[in-house]
Structure 1
Amino acid sequence: MKLVKLIANLGYGSRKDVTMMFREGRITDPDGEVLYADDKVPHEHIRIDDEPLDPPAGLALMMNKPLGATCSRKDQGRVVYDLLPPRYRLRDPALSTVGRLDRDTSGLLLFTDDGALLHRIISPRAQVAKVYEATLAQDLRGDEGELFASGTMMLEAEKEPLEPAALEVLGPRQARLTLTEGRYHQVRRMFAAVGNHVETLTRISVGGLVLGDLAPGQWRALQAEEVAQIFAGPAPR
């Protein structure tokens, strides 16, 4: 792929904009030597204004989604894409969230521009486990774990029972729940079905990939081995 198209596809501007960047000498190699549009250089050797070029297509990111941000591109309020560099909205192929977390849920959110990877993660066949920690309005009554694990629990307006889910009690009003599916507001609806209310909810892992020490709103690109961890099963606790 020609450098002009490559850089434009990464969201740095139109092809006309990128052509002007070449003319202005803003695109260089690591030693500061000016590059030209027909040069053939490895991706990792390209600099724009002395900064490394963004990762190529096939990008995967993880973010600690903060409360109050939504995963929609069109929401009039704060959206998760606002936390990324503006040019990330212009990448081609487009960068999308892998599933969603609602406005009042925080924690591990994945992004990718790789459609095959996205579908592999969210496919019911993959059985990728998502782990959430919840603070509840009332004490747990004691039978939730058995019910959630039964594979027979029905939610209101649903036609199929939920897949078995694992509940770990962390305190009288704190629980960790592991799901292998992602129905609409599932964790909140499960606790509502047993007469409780989720006050705070955080996703702490997807498969074997753990949120770690990212602060709310922070994000970083994933390495190939980290993407592989997603399919390696839940991380040990």
Structure 2
Amino acid sequence: MRRLDQLLANLGYCSRREARAWIQAGRVTVRGRATDDFGAKADPADVRVDGEPLDHPAGLLLLVHKPVGLVCSHDEREGPNVYSLLPPRWRARNPQVTSIGRLDKDTSGLLLLTDQSALVHRLTSPKHKVPKVYRATVNADLTPALVTLFAGGTLQLKNEKAPCAPAELKIISPREAELTLTEGRYHQVRRMLASQGAEVMALHRARFGPLELGDLAPGQWRELPLDTFPP
């Protein structure tokens, strides 16, 4: 049960002050009846705004095909961000929609967005070891020795206290590879390959856990059930 004015504000419909005006104007109903009590508590499933059910009152989980050029930050000073792809109402939600892990500006591919903070913490926690698959194009030929090195769990990156966890490298062509990680260090794929003399020229995340992009076009998204990643 939640206060009506707070419920509408948290779901991004409007400010709490505007919500009170909407309620007093009869735009909001509870179990089919209008109410002018903006402090009344109600089950979100029973609430309608202008006759329509509330917009995802239980929360959002989205799979996005992030294009190159967008950042995963809410700070507008860092440039255009992935949240600009979403409807304005979703961008105004509280808790705000945020990314589960990040992809840098020059990396494309599968990105998950949600307003469920517990899910963010769980899926980014190293102890859960959620596999993430990246496809990289580099500027130097890759050798089979890298497969053994990355799998061994001994690669130490500069300024890191612990070596990288074992990672699976598949060489697709002399300068293309697929790398599967179970951790998410800062610019990890780029740094791992650069440490071996191969600068990443293009990077794309193809998979996150069991999820793939399928035919989802860059800049597009699709909704996922909130129980996609059961506890």
Q: TM-score, normalised by structure 1?
A: 0.84
Find the counterpart in structure 1 of residue 137 from structure 2. Answer: 135
Distance, in Å, in 2 between the alignment partners of 1:133 and 1:26 is 50
* 8 Å CA contact retained: 1:11, 1:91: yes
2:83 is aligned with 1:62: no
Distance, in Å, in 2 between the alignment partners of 1:113 and 1:97 is 9
Q: In the comparison of the two structures, how many residue pairs are matched?
A: 227
User: Unaligned 5+ residue runs, structure 1?
Assistant: 232-237
* 8 Å CA contact retained: 2:59, 2:226: no
Find the counterpart in structure 1 of residue 102 from structure 2. Answer: 100
**Shift in Å, 1:20:** 2.8
Distance, in Å, in 2 between the alignment partners of 1:64 and 1:37 is 42
Matches within 5 A, 1:5-84: 5-24=6-25, 26-27=27-28, 35-36=34-35, 43=44, 48=49, 52-76=53-77, 77-84=79-86
**Shift in Å, 1:62:** 1.8
* 8 Å CA contact retained: 2:26, 2:36: no
Find the counterpart in structure 1 of residue 218 from structure 2. Answer: 216
SS of the aligned residue for 1:63 comes to strand
CA separation of 1:79/1:150 partners in 2, compared to 1, >3 Å: closer, same or farther? Answer: same
CA separation of 1:197/1:13 partners in 2, compared to 1, >3 Å: closer, same or farther? Answer: same
Deviates more, 1:145-154 or 1:212-221: 212-221
* 8 Å CA contact retained: 2:60, 2:226: no
Distance, in Å, in 2 between the alignment partners of 1:50 and 1:171 is 57
* 8 Å CA contact retained: 2:106, 2:202: yes
Distance, in Å, in 2 between the alignment partners of 1:94 and 1:133 is 30
CA separation of 1:49/1:172 partners in 2, compared to 1, >3 Å: closer, same or farther? Answer: farther
Q: Whose strand proportion is higher, 1 or 2?
A: 2
Distance, in Å, in 2 between the alignment partners of 1:50 and 1:66 is 36
> Aligned match of 1:170 in 169, 172, 176?
172
Distance, in Å, in 1 between the alignment partners of 2:64 and 2:83 is 10
> Aligned match of 1:181 in 153, 172, 183?
183
Aligned Cα root-mean-square deviation (Å)? 2.6
Distance, in Å, in 2 between the alignment partners of 1:209 and 1:166 is 18
SS of the aligned residue for 1:62 comes to strand
Distance, in Å, in 1 between the alignment partners of 2:229 and 2:211 is 8
* 8 Å CA contact retained: 1:4, 1:37: no
CA separation of 1:199/1:40 partners in 2, compared to 1, >3 Å: closer, same or farther? Answer: same
**Shift in Å, 1:92:** 1.8
SS of the aligned residue for 2:207 comes to strand
**Shift in Å, 1:3:** 3.0
Find the counterpart in structure 1 of residue 208 from structure 2. Answer: 206
Q: TM-score, normalised by structure 2?
A: 0.86
SS of the aligned residue for 2:127 comes to helix
CA separation of 1:129/1:138 partners in 2, compared to 1, >3 Å: closer, same or farther? Answer: same
User: Unaligned 5+ residue runs, structure 2?
Assistant: none
Find the counterpart in structure 1 of residue 194 from structure 2. Answer: 192
Identity of aligned residues (%): 51
CA separation of 1:26/1:222 partners in 2, compared to 1, >3 Å: closer, same or farther? Answer: same
